[in-house]
Amino acid sequence: MSQTPDPTTASNDDGNLASQASDSSAYGGIVDRDGNPLNDGWPSTYRPEIGNYINHIRNDPTKTTDQLKTLMANIRPDMEIPPENREGTPDDMTYPLMEHQKLGLAWLKNMEDGSNKGGILADDMGLGKTIQALALIVSRKSKNPNRKTTLIVAPIALLKQWEREIERKLKAPHRLKVIIHHGNQKRCKSFAGFKDYDVVLTTFGTIGTEYKKRQALLDSQDHEAIKKANFFFVGGQCEWYRVIIDEAQCIKNKDTQSAKGCCALKAKFRLCLSGTPMQNSCDEMFSLLRFLRIEPYSSWPEFSNAFSRPLKSKSERAVSGALLKLQALMKAVLLRRTKDSTIDGKPILTLPDKSIEMVYAVLSPDEQQFYQALQDKSKILYNKYLRSGTVGRNYSNILVLLLRLRQACCHPHLIRDIEVADAKPFDDQMIELAKTLSPEAVARLKDPDAFECPICLDAADNPSIVIPCGHQFCSECLVQLHNQHVEAAIASGNEEGGARCPGCRGAFQLNKVIDLRTFQKVHMSEGEEAASEEPKEEYDDNLIYDTDSSEGSDDDGDDDDDTGSDLEDFIVNDEEDEEEEEEEEEEEEEEEDSEEQGEGSAASRPRTLAEVRKDAMRNAKSKRQYMKHLQKRWISSAKVDKCMEILQTIRDNDGVEKTIVFSQFTSLLDLIEIPIHQKGWTYRRYDGGMTSIARNEALTEFTDDSNVNIILVSLKAGNSGLNLVAASQVIILDPFYNPFIENQAIDRAHRIGQQRKVRVHKLIVPGTVEDRVLALQEEKRKLIEGALDEKASKGIGRLSSKDLGFLFVSNLQNKVCVYVWGQWLIGYV
């Protein structure tokens, strides 16, 4: 391949912006990184976009000539490099690169040669971003032995996978020396120790923790302490050869410690890997540009003025103009191919066929009656919010109503008594704790948009609030954080201190956590409190609803404290000791006695299954007790029956074929376990409540053990980063608002390495909210395609008022639905 000309030299030959503006061409003589005019080689459909973008940057006085010319020099036509000029497979690698991966390697090298010194590899899931990154590492090694190390920052669940890929994909004589620096696996005493390694693997939480510690020292201006401080990643002496951010969407929130820490890393070259670089809005692209040092848009004011504000405007002209500019910017820093892309006139990737079928589960008469009553009451409340103009203020409450409807489609126990326990009666201790919140925390918690868990990024209906900082999380994520801390503390022999709040890194204890209801009682007026609690008035007090649609994901939170456990903790054990069984039976009898004697008493009231499930997160014994408790009260449902029917058919047709069962609700997976266990089928679990070790064991056994044919996976924990090509059947128990989360989950099986046709079974209850979720998915697909050069990977996560109104319209016949001034107006004809 010919040597790439220096982009700075190439663009400097074109004169200043004034002379360019007078050029008759819209491109004004600006060249791409190969030294060719920008209008050469571009498909005609792209030329207006680039012309519009260049006109914009010329007329924007806040941008500097040098910065913009340098950025534009990185744009290259999205055309195929002739086979004779493509990169070959590096000698160090065991497996040959595919053609699109060779092109990807060439692009990565060109980006490191150019002014960007890196970029964003945003290939679709399953196209081999990891192997392209490894090819870059081994083909462009540092010549400086004192600065040779590549740092890879990834979700905790992927550290071992990276280690395995390096071992499998590289030949033994050339294998890289790798170290994992995380939690208790911290063998180096200082940054200097990393210089002996080719690759260092760590987590976002580790980076965020160290960054906050460093900032606290700098703020203290304690120069002696700063000199003595030992930093592994963000210290002044920490200079990496290359930093790779895997699953780079994890730093999408620019205000988190992890995002700030990653952006503070010093490196000669930088690379982001993400199949979904924009998850909720274009604002999330800013953190990636800041990490990459892409000028001038690594400054938030510059990025906001150019993209964020216009894209949120009500002006169609402003939105379309900003979208064109964003597309052009992406061409300069990002490479994305999908499975539909072509090379040399052929598909980029030939995978076995994939079929998706809608499987309809019809509710029984009892289930239908239960669902209809729930829907009628939900619509009454929604219409009340609509008439009073408080839909936005009651956003979280409305999500709860929708959540209950979605749960009722799956299993009545999800609402009645299975899930995370609802708030207990008020007690004096919680009220006193609520009074200690600062005025700033109180004001923040009164914000109607406040109640979205920052760990799993889903709405929390009755969030847990940490004292004293006042940050809020869904209860499941908070319990997971605490349990991870306890495990790590016991393993290290250091049981002092509490778990860390992901919001501020302050210590907290579970006995100093309140809930939203207590906060409202202490700090909100009667009107505010009544508005927030209105959903409860329409339901029986014993309807305890599922909050684990926001259950743990690979966003890790405080992942530094994650350490060992055992897969058996998450599987019903057939070989329990008789003595232990007797002990558990006695405990259950005592609970039943207390149920008979304790009615009406808060102190001795019956324990619901929800509370048993919450306690079941403590240890293996509690989990077994919970599963026995669940089995004793278990009933089936239309969806459970249909899922078992599909699993039986798969087993009858091919006894060795493997199946992934996805659900948003871990409690639904609990319920599915009962009939699977009764059938004697061998299965594994993978969800956010498991430790990284337990999850890794589950994946290994599912992949390697021919007797393990089923894996039950929570949708959010399993929608990215995993390789599950051992499975060729996929069952999705419940649809999610965002279609691209489902697509990612399906692509865990439909990816490179799959040898079978992949069959996807999406279970839907007709005539319910699930029908409208499917329609909303299709609408979101249409809205977001175009944010990137090829199709965008994830849609808007937050439901708009328009979305909410649509989801509550159960039967469009004889109804007129008009969207006016941000609200649905619904009438009959």
Min mean pLDDT across 24-38, 644-658, 698-712 is at 24-38
* Greatest mean pLDDT among 60-74, 166-180, 285-299: 285-299
pLDDT of residue 814: 37
**Does 818 reside within a domain?**
no
My answer on whether 59 and 139 are in the same domain is no
Nearest to 690 by CA among 500, 548, 552: 552
Mean pLDDT of 488-513: 63
* Greatest mean pLDDT among 16-20, 50-54, 530-534: 50-54
**Does 779 reside within a domain?**
no
**Does 385 reside within a domain?**
no
Query: Is 663:716 a contact under the CB 8 Å cutoff?
Result: no
Q: Per residue in 331-361, pLDDT tens? A: 888 888 888 788 878 888 888 889 999 999 9
Which CATH number fits the domain that encloses residue 118?
A: 3.40.50.10810
pLDDT of residue 566: 30
Min mean pLDDT across 69-83, 109-123, 304-318, 553-567 is at 553-567
Task: Provide the CA 91 distance to its chain's centre, in angstroms.
Answer: 35
What single-letter amino acid sits at 106? A
pLDDT of residue 329: 84
pLDDT of residue 822: 33
Residue appearing with tokens 């005493």: 189
pLDDT of residue 495: 45
The residue with greater pLDDT, 535 or 468, is 468
pLDDT of residue 710: 96
My answer on whether 578 and 671 are in the same domain is no
Q: Where are the alpha helices (DSSP H) in 265-305?
A: 284-292, 300-303
Distance CA 286, CA 304 (A): 9
**Does 737 reside within a domain?**
yes
Nearest to 56 by CA among 296, 287, 254: 296
**Does 817 reside within a domain?**
no
My answer on whether 183 and 282 are in the same domain is yes
Distance CA 71, CA 542 (A): 60
Query: Is 465:514 a contact under the CB 8 Å cutoff?
Result: yes
Whether omega for the bond prior to residue 173 falls within 30 degrees of 0, making it cis, is no
pLDDT of residue 536: 38
Backbone angles phi, psi at 659, to 5 degrees: -135, 140
Min mean pLDDT across 105-114, 463-472, 690-699, 772-781 is at 772-781
Distance CA 643, CA 621 (A): 28
Q: How many CA atoms lie within 13 A of 461 on its CB side?
A: 25
**Does 827 reside within a domain?**
no
**Does 474 reside within a domain?**
no
Distance CA 273, CA 121 (A): 5
Reduce the DSSP state of residue 154 to 3 states and report it: coil
Which CATH number fits the domain that encloses residue 763?
A: 3.40.50.300
Q: Among 79, 110, 130, identify where a domain stops.
A: 79
751 pLDDT band, cuts 50/70/90, is confident
pLDDT of residue 427: 64
Mean pLDDT of 505-525: 77
pLDDT of residue 728: 94
How much of the chain, in percent, has pLDDT values that exceed 90?
Answer: 23
How much of the chain, in percent, has pLDDT values that exceed 70?
Answer: 64
Q: What's the mean per-residue pLDDT of the chain?
A: 72
Q: Per residue in 538-565, pLDDT tens? A: 322 222 233 333 333 333 333 433 333 3
Q: Per residue in 211-225, pLDDT tens? A: 998 888 888 888 788
My answer on whether 148 and 277 are in the same domain is yes
pLDDT of residue 683: 96
- Kindly tell me if the per-residue pLDDT of 105 is higher than 90: yes
- Kindly tell me if the per-residue pLDDT of 575 is higher than 50: no
Neighbours of 523 (CB within 10 A): 18
The residue with greater pLDDT, 504 or 681, is 681
The residue with greater pLDDT, 261 or 575, is 261
Backbone angles phi, psi at 235, to 5 degrees: -75, 165
The vertex-85 CA angle with 82 and 89, nearest 5°, equals 115
My answer on whether 628 and 640 are in the same domain is no
- Torsion from C-alpha of 466, 472, 477, 479, nearest 10 degrees: 20
- Kindly tell me if the per-residue pLDDT of 676 is higher than 80: yes
The residue with greater pLDDT, 166 or 803, is 166
- Kindly tell me if the per-residue pLDDT of 55 is higher than 70: no
My answer on whether 338 and 241 are in the same domain is yes
**Does 532 reside within a domain?**
no
My answer on whether 74 and 108 are in the same domain is no
Query: Is 625:587 a contact under the CB 8 Å cutoff?
Result: yes
pLDDT of residue 602: 40
Q: Per residue in 431-443, pLDDT tens? A: 888 888 888 888 8
pLDDT of residue 763: 94
Distance CA 113, CA 110 (A): 5
The residue with greater pLDDT, 579 or 10, is 579
My answer on whether 286 and 155 are in the same domain is yes
pLDDT of residue 350: 81
DSSP letters spanning 763-819: EE-TTSHHHHHHHHHHHHHHHHTTSSSS--S----SPPHHHHHHHT----TTEEEEE
The residue with greater pLDDT, 425 or 506, is 506
The residue with greater pLDDT, 552 or 282, is 282
My answer on whether 640 and 711 are in the same domain is yes
The residue with greater pLDDT, 262 or 227, is 262
Q: Per residue in 57-96, pLDDT tens? A: 444 444 444 555 555 455 444 445 677 777 889 999 998 9
Min mean pLDDT across 170-184, 317-331, 458-472 is at 458-472
- Kindly tell me if the per-residue pLDDT of 234 is higher than 80: yes
pLDDT of residue 454: 65
pTM to 2 decimal places: 0.56
My answer on whether 679 and 580 are in the same domain is no
802 pLDDT band, cuts 50/70/90, is low
Mean pLDDT of 474-497: 59
- Torsion from C-alpha of 701, 626, 762, 691, nearest 10 degrees: -40
691 pLDDT band, cuts 50/70/90, is confident
My answer on whether 321 and 209 are in the same domain is yes
Distance CA 292, CA 665 (A): 37
Backbone angles phi, psi at 734, to 5 degrees: -150, 135
Mean pLDDT of 256-265: 92
My answer on whether 183 and 219 are in the same domain is yes
Residue 55 lies in domain: 1-79
DSSP letters spanning 101-140: HHHHHHHHHHHHHSTTSEEEE-PPTTS-HHHHHHHHHHHS
Domain count, the chain: 4
pLDDT of residue 184: 66
